[in-house]
Amino acid sequence: MTLEDLQDLAEQERERQDQKKHRVLFCSAAGCASCGADKVSAALKAKVKEHALDKECEVIGTGCMGLCGEGPLVKVQSDDTMYRNVDVRTAEKIVESHIVNGKKVDAHVCDTNVPFFTSQTRIVLENCGRTNSESIDEYVAAEGYAGLAKALTEMQPADVIEEVRKSGLRGRGGAGYSTGLKWGIVRKAHGEQKYVVCNADEGDPGAFMDRSVLEGDPHRVLEGMAIAGYAVGAQQGYIYCRAEYPLAIERLKLAIKQAEKAGLLGNRILESQFNFRIDIRIGAGAFVCGEETALLASIEGKRGNPRPRPPFPSEKGLWGMPTVINNVETYANVAPIIRKGSDWFAGIGTEKSKGTKVFALAGNIRNTGLIEVPMGIPLRTIIFDIGGGTPDGTEFKAAQTGGPSGGCIPADQLDLPVDYESLMKVGSIMGSGGLIVMDSTSRMVEVAKFFMQFCMDESCGKCIPCRVGTRHIYGLLDKISKKKATQDDMVLLEELCMMVKETSLCGLGQSAPNPVLSTLRFFRHEYEQLLQPVETFEGEPGIVVDFEK
Amino acid sequence: MSPVEQPKHPSGDNRFKLLDRAITKHQARGDALIEILHVAQGIFGYLENDLLIYVARSLKLPLSRVYGVATFYHFFNLKPKGEHTFVLCMGTACYVKGAEQIQTALEEHYQCRFGDTTKDNSVSFITARCVGSCGLAPVAVLDDAVVGKLTPDESIRRVEQVKLSVPEVVS
């Protein structure tokens, strides 16, 4: 395929879509699929056929439309009407009434003129809910692979890196390292082979951003990886996807096959000298494999044990070769940056955090789902305007970001702008983007205990601070929650948290105490309420830790 | 490249042929170990010792390495599972929405702890770390189907339903 062929393909596909009078889109992402989207799509298709509308109306499965809590969602694209809670009966009515007679099914129409939709800025998710997630043609028609084409035909690899660096894009996996700088290091590093790895091991409980991108717009990730490959001089890419996401794996496999057939992956891409292949590696359920060195070990077919850094993977990564590792969302940002230029991207967000961030809203919040907002937006806007606040009038208590590595942000910090530095200041982290809202029914000691149990179970066991430390912290939290602890245990708890944080080998251990430290900081009274008064204390036998468990 | 030599499994079980095919596809490379264990578990349902020995010999890896990998990752089962599986999500969103109550209710009702299989070998109860459907919390995966917005009673009803294999009614 040449550049002209790519442009022709885009043109043809756009014409084909214009010829259709109606495009009925149904959300085929995991959230809607699990509440009956397949039956809805079957009903839509059957009705379209029954009314002999095949020529003018097409029914398409798209990526996540965002409002997962109100699924299954259906959208009639011609007049931008969204329907929520669609069942088979409603699906039939949509075709019979809306498509045939032009009369909307009012009972299920979802108002899209509300902050949930209007306050969002969509870059990563621009195609989710708009295009067929299983069609490369539709991706190309939506300016897909134009970024790769521009990089290959108009830019030198060094220019690509400079463009990404200037855009200010930072790693979306949580740590926030400059993507352009990382690529520059890999480009300069020596090695016969270089690799590009995509971290799709989205292990944080409560996070489903990467899943939605992979399911809804897999080609965007492939394009970003290919651009990275060109920039750093790699010919092989790996996507490490967790086994819990079968649909994402299936869609990725299909997308790779389509791209190879179209000459957009493989040898001599777009008739250039650039060759790039992508393979999928499937994880097997280990949270620690989201850590980059553990992930590389897992791709090599070993236990997912992290190793000390330096050397960083940028210098010695997969099989000892220089390796770029980025998160799904980071790669998904690359193609638009190349296509529209770094100035455009740098114009969104704050001084140090550019662009947008995808968040998965869940927990005690009215609008659960997937949103994408510009960096720097206040947390209050996300939770109360976009998320609609807590349901049933319960009182908002805390927002948890960053999963087991993050912290809880209390109500009085809600005007905090969401960017890497501000979140760090209150003891949380940006993380990959899970945002869980807790209301007054959540007890913070239990929450801290829950996360500590998670880290304890997921610790790989290689280094002692993490393996033993998390277990003892859990033991102390358990003791506190059972009202058996004293003030001495609180001192011990804090000391232990700092020790684990400072001395663990990898990110898992270093950040494992964060949920405890942040709840101690903002909700200390909840801990203290559970303590035994000193005078009635009759001597507990130290920390109770059940090693058999 | 010369064809990869495969030691034949003495039992003559035809399922090993399927496994051999996957091993050949990966050219018996040691770094494909996790992929091959996935295939093996897909074919046999769980990874028994004999199977691990077979994989180790085929990939020319020490058994310790294969066993180490199989026990490291949660996805691999070394014990057989029940006819049905109920995977309860214990992610943060589900936890906040009351997954723990569901766990307690099921454990009491079936007298079987999570991580084990019921005595009549009908259902295995497993907990998972977030299945990524947080919008529908609390969520469980019942025999590959995601069921959302569960309550303790609804969970028991769903489990009873699959035990009888009554086809799903559209709600």
DSSP, residue by residue, A236-279: EEEEEE-TT-HHHHHHHHHHHHHHHHTTSSBSSGGGSS--BEEE
pLDDT value at residue B170: 42
The answer to whether residues B101 and B62 belong to one domain is no
pLDDT tens-digit series, residues A65-117: 999 888 899 999 988 899 999 999 999 999 999 999 989 999 999 999 999 99
pLDDT value at residue B90: 87
Q: Which of B52, B72, B92 is the last residue of a domain?
A: B72
- Own/partner pairs, A468-474, CB within 8 angstroms, 24+ separation: A469/A496, A469/A499, A469/A500, A469/A504, A469/A509, A469/A512, A470/A500, A470/A509, A470/A512, A471/A545, A471/A547, A472/A496, A472/A543, A472/A545, A473/A497, A473/A500, A473/A512, A473/A513, A473/A516, A474/A449
The answer to whether residues B94 and B157 belong to one domain is yes
Contacts of A281 in chain B (CB under 8 A): 34-35
Nearest residue in chain B measured CA to CA from A209: B132
The answer to whether residues B135 and B160 belong to one domain is yes
**Minimal Cβ distance to B137: which of A35, A88, A362:** A362
pLDDT tens-digit series, residues A278-323: 999 999 989 999 999 999 999 999 999 999 999 999 999 999 999 9
Q: CA B145, CA A34: separation in Å to the nearest integer?
A: 7
pLDDT tens-digit series, residues A220-242: 999 999 999 999 999 999 999 99
Contacts of B74 in chain A (CB under 8 A): 284-286
B135 touches chain A (CB under 8 A): yes
The answer to whether residues B141 and B100 belong to one domain is yes
Residues 6+ apart with CB under 8 A from A415: A378, A379, A380
Residue B156 lies in a domain: yes
Task: Give me the phi and psi of A61, to 5 degrees please.
Answer: -90, 125
**Beta strand pairing call for A356-363 and A236-241:** unpaired
DSSP for A503-539 reads H-SSHHHHHTTHHHHHHHHH-HHHHHHTSPPGGG---
Least Cα distance to A168 among A329, A347, A425, A324 occurs for A347
pLDDT tens-digit series, residues A7-31: 999 999 999 999 999 999 999 988 8
pLDDT value at residue B67: 96
The answer to whether residues B88 and B160 belong to one domain is yes
Which runs of E-coded beta strand occur in A121-258? 195-200, 236-241
Bridge partner residues of A425 (DSSP): none
Does the beta-carbon distance from B129 to A71 stay under 8 Å? no
Residue B114 lies in a domain: yes
Q: How many domains does chain B have?
A: 2
Work out the burial of residue B79: count CB atoms within 10 Å of its CB; fewer than 13 is exposed, 13-18 middle, 19 or more buried: exposed
Sheet with B123-128, strands from edge to edge, namely: B123-128, B84-89, B140-142, B145-147
The answer to whether residues B66 and B92 belong to one domain is no
Contacts of A454 in chain B (CB under 8 A): 129
The answer to whether residues B66 and B91 belong to one domain is no
Residue B99 lies in a domain: yes
The answer to whether residues B110 and B142 belong to one domain is yes
Contacts of A434 in chain B (CB under 8 A): 92, 134
A302 touches chain B (CB under 8 A): yes
pLDDT value at residue A184: 97
Out of A273-277, A393-397, B144-148, pick the least confident: B144-148
Residue B52 lies in a domain: yes
> How many C-beta neighbours within 10 Å does residue A153 have?
12
Average pLDDT over residues A396-409: 92
Does the beta-carbon distance from B148 to A34 stay under 8 Å? yes
pLDDT tens-digit series, residues A136-148: 999 999 999 999 9
Element (DSSP H or E) covering residue A297: helix A292-299
The answer to whether residues B89 and B138 belong to one domain is yes
Residue B120 lies in a domain: yes
Q: What are the tokens at A284?
A: 């097997």
Q: What percent of chain A has pLDDT over 70?
A: 97
pLDDT value at residue B168: 46
Q: Which of B72, B103, B137 is the last residue of a domain?
A: B72
> How many C-beta neighbours within 10 Å does residue B170 have?
10
**Minimal Cβ distance to B72: which of A303, A363, A434:** A303
pLDDT value at residue B1: 44
Residue B4 lies in a domain: no
Q: What is the CATH number of the domain that holds B51?
A: 1.10.10
Task: Give me the phi and psi of A79, to 5 degrees please.
Answer: -120, 20
pLDDT range class, residue A427, cuts 50, 70, 90: confident
Interface test with A, best of B23, B58, B72 (most A CBs within 10 A): B72
A378: three-class secondary structure by DSSP:
strand
pLDDT value at residue A535: 56
**How much is the mean pLDDT over chain A?**
92
CB neighbour burial string for A438-476, b if at least 16 within 10 angstroms, e if fewer? bbeebbbbebbbbbbbbbbebbbebbebbbbbbbbbbbb
Which portions of chain B are predicted below pLDDT 50?
1-2, 167-171
Q: CA A123, CA A119: separation in Å to the nearest integer?
A: 13
Does residue A503 carry a pLDDT above 70? yes
Residue B65, domain extent: 15-72
pLDDT value at residue B137: 85
The answer to whether residues B90 and B151 belong to one domain is yes
Q: What is the crossing angle of helices B63-72 and B33-44, to 10°?
A: 70
The answer to whether residues B90 and B157 belong to one domain is yes
Alpha carbon of B55: minimum distance to chain A alpha carbons (Å): 13
pLDDT value at residue A210: 93
Q: What percent of chain A has pLDDT over 90?
A: 83
Residue B92 lies in a domain: yes
Least Cα distance to A219 among A6, A529, A477 occurs for A6
pLDDT tens-digit series, residues A456-489: 999 999 999 999 999 999 999 999 999 999 999 9
Q: Which domains, and CATH codes, for chain A? A: 19-112 (3.40.30.10), 144-155+171-334 (3.40.50.11540), 356-439 (3.10.20.600), 444-536 (1.20.1440.230)
Residue B7 lies in a domain: no
pLDDT value at residue B169: 47
A residues 476-535 closer than 8 Å to B (CB): none
The position carrying tokens 């590389």 is A296
Q: Are A212 and A29 in contact (CB under 8 A)?
A: yes
Does residue A357 carry a pLDDT above 80? yes
Does residue A192 carry a pLDDT above 70? yes
Contacts of A211 in chain B (CB under 8 A): 132
Complex-level ipTM: 0.86
Q: What is the CATH number of the domain that holds B158?
A: 3.40.30.10
The answer to whether residues B159 and B100 belong to one domain is yes
B22 touches chain A (CB under 8 A): no
